Amino acid sequence: MLNNNQSVIDYKMQTTFTTSDIAEDIYQLITKLYPICRSITGNGFRETLKIIQQYIPLSIQQVPTGTEVFDWIVPKEWNIKEAYIKNSQGKKIVDFANSNLHIVNYSIPVHQKLSLQELKAHLFTLADYPNWIPYRTSYYQETWGFCLSHNQYLELKDEEYEVFIDSSLEPGHLSYGEYYIPGDSTDEVLISCHACHPSLCNDNLSGIAIATFIAKYLSQTTPRYSYRFLWIPGTIGSITWLALNETKVNNIKHGLVLSCLGDSGNFTYKKSRIGDAEIDKVAAYVLRNSKRNCEIIDFLPYGYDERQYCSPGFNLAVGCLMRSPHGTFPEYHTSADDLNFVQPQYLAESFLQCNSMLYILNNNKIYYNKNSKCEPQLGKRGIYRAAGGHKDSELNEMAILWVLNLSDGHHSLLDIAERAGMSFDVIKYAADTLLTHDLLISEKPK
């Protein structure tokens, strides 16, 4: 259970906020974005980016149709105004205006009359969940279709139907949003999310909104690393960005893909292809110390855009953070992934887990003990008195001893915390104290 008075930990921060504040803010952004019909290109995607611009000054990049991006080509731009199926009495029995999931995403324009048998070849339902509308796409095959509940499907009569889809598929642009926050170092942390699904809250909007608020609050700080945020269409978006930004890729040292972060499931972290990268260790440490069940899974070349960032030609240290992974909950890619399925408290908890990971990443430094031959005398420096030998003291004596012993240029503060069985904050506080007393140094002593 979250504490409504809990404040987010800073990054040299000037700002704090409570979990109840961030829970409501994230949920309200999802509510605002929910009605928009998004796809991998088009006006719905750009409208989504323009709403995010109300929170952070991200730049919107436009890549023309036909641009070659490695083995792929940027597709035609798709937009839609209206779509419906009318029965023989002229009544709309399926209407895009009621749910943007009713249309197969990327359907070509059509206006014709069909028999029931002809129409069925273009209809998609979920027999196991007869009240839900499935989400289907046809990005790279020019066809059309409608999605409807199975109960609606069963009510169809053997008569003639009018099908109308007012869409366009023509040369245009692939759009994506990018926001860069300079830090003390040009080394970067990448935060990426896919923003191409229509009204799906957990798979899509949760990652979009959490990334937006992480960016908003990081922008008020000067972090150690620089941060690059991407709101991109799935698969083709990350491929396009990588193809057009190869000169920037070497700066990316750590990264997270965010998705499915608004449901009540336990957290899941999918490791990078590297497997033991610093982000993998940090994510595992945070989740395993969160007093919740979690699952840490190995990389596999299937899923979200981490599989592009982790392709062998790049092999970036990018993992994927989720709650219930894609495809493991029945609401996935259906109309049931709605505003009731995601909840503010789970969104806030996910935000805080992300924040904890970035906090540790930001502060996970390696030091050298300047007095490596035997322990330095702590008493004459007042450190022992500050620690006091008490378990409830803010400065923990054992933490000081662990930091001194393992600050050999080979162990990070996270390594020390795990070896000592202590929290990262306790170890960091001990290291900060030793730094102020000139007992640690960030470069190897001469």
What residues are designated binding site for Zn(2+)? 197, 203, 333
Q: Give CA 398 to chain center in angstroms.
A: 37
Residue ranges for the known binding site are 197, 203, 333
DSSP structural state of residue 289: T
Show the tokens assigned to 380: 């004459």
- Which residue type, as a one-letter code, is found at position 231? W
Where is 415: in which H helix or E strand? helix 413-420
Q: Which residues contact 218 (CB under 8 A, 6 or more apart)?
A: 11, 181, 227, 358
Cite the beta strand spans of 100-159 per DSSP E.
110-115, 123-124, 146-147
The single residue listed with the structure tokens 């920037």 is: 248
Q: Cα–Cα distance between 266 and 273 in angstroms, integer?
A: 22
How many CB atoms are located within 10 Å of the residue 330 CB? 13
Strands 408-412 and 366-369: antiparallel
Q: Decide: 60 and 47 in contact? Cβ < 8 Å.
A: no
Let me know: does 44 contact 38? Beta carbons within 8 Å: yes
Q: Which residue has the tokens 């993992």?
A: 319
CA distance 292 to 7: 19
Q: Give the angle subtended at the CA of 356 by the CAs of 421 and 407, to the nearest 5°.
A: 45
Question: How many CB atoms neighbour CB 405 within 10 A?
Answer: 15
